[in-house]
Structure 1
Amino acid sequence: MKSKHIRNTEGVKKHAQMKSQEATQKVDQAIQRLIKTKAKINFNQVAMESGVSKAFLYNNQEIRNRIEGLRKQQEGLKSSQAMKRNMTDASKDSLIVAKNNRIKKLEEENKHLKDELMKLRGIIYDKF
């Protein structure tokens, strides 16, 4: 037996549309925060930052295109890890020399302070 009742789904449709708009705003704000902090932009990061599902990001074509575009832009930028990997031998050698000089200076300072401490302990011991 078929019902002749007409279903009113306008409220449900409006609610779903409103929820989608709110999620889109969250995604926009999350992307802006990621850009400001110069964090890596990809679907996982945007989903975690915005609190929306990755499925929403992939299914919304406008957002998907935006994330993919930003991700491609960032591919051209070198990360600090990539820059560390690309250090030349000369720059590594100069860094080692600088660190060795710093270590030597700190060792000398440490020895000087230990000697001074021993003198002060001797003065205190003599007073008592």
Structure 2
Amino acid sequence: MSEYDRKSHLEKLHSERKANTRKKIDEAIQRLIRSNKSINFNSVSNEAGLSKATLYNNSDIRERIETLRNQQAQVPTPAQVKREMDENNKDAIIASLKRKIKNLLEENKQIKEQVKISYGDIYKKI
């Protein structure tokens, strides 16, 4: 019977578990990127089904997540872009609304004149 080497067996199991963990993390990050979600320790932990301690304790994984998180922080979110567009365009929007109000007031005035004329025609017929 061959000798059982417990140490090599444990090293093999450990390396398999490590590879499986890396695979889960890589897939989770890819899913987060594809769905345009934020990448941070919480989101990767939830998506991969691993503890945050695992992510923090592994230095290269920790560095990767921090790098991705910093890259995303530099890119403005759609809400920020929309807010900036609104602030930049608010003067144009205000001017457009003022023109619309002026046109509506003029139209309202014309309709009131037509109603007066119509009432006068109706009164003459009576």
Bin for the TM-score computed over the shorter chain: 0.5 to 0.7
Match of 1:76 in 2: 74
* Larger helix fraction of residues: 2
Superposition pairs of residues 80-119 of structure 1, within 5 angstroms: 80-86=78-84, 87-88=86-87, 90-91=89-90, 94=93, 97=97
Q: CA RMSD in A?
A: 2.6
1-side partners of 2:72 and 2:80: how far apart?
Answer: 13
The Cα of 1:56 is off from its aligned counterpart by 1.1
Look up the equivalent residue of 2:43 and give its one-letter code. Answer: Q
Give 1:1-128 correspondences, 5 Å limit.
Answer: 8-86=6-84, 87-88=86-87, 90-91=89-90, 94=93, 97=97
Partner deviation per Cα, 1:1-59 (whole Å, 9 max, x = no partner):
xxxxxx83332232122111101001001111111111100010011111111111111
Distance 1:92 1:70, change over 3 A: farther
Amino acid of the residue matched to residue 36 of structure 1? R
TM-score by length of 2: 0.61
Give the TM-score taking structure 1 as reference length: 0.61
Where 2:27 maps in the other structure, the secondary structure is helix
Identical columns (%): 37
Q: How many residues end up aligned between the 2 structures?
A: 92
Distance 1:89 1:26 in 2: 43
Residue 72 to residue 19, structure 1, CA distance change in 2 (3 Å): same
- Per the TM alignment, residue 91 of structure 1 is displaced from its structure 2 partner at its CA by 3.0
Give, in whole Å, the separation in 1 of the partners of 2:91 and 2:9.
66
User: 1:85: how far off?
Assistant: 3.9
Unaligned runs of 5+ in 2: 101-126
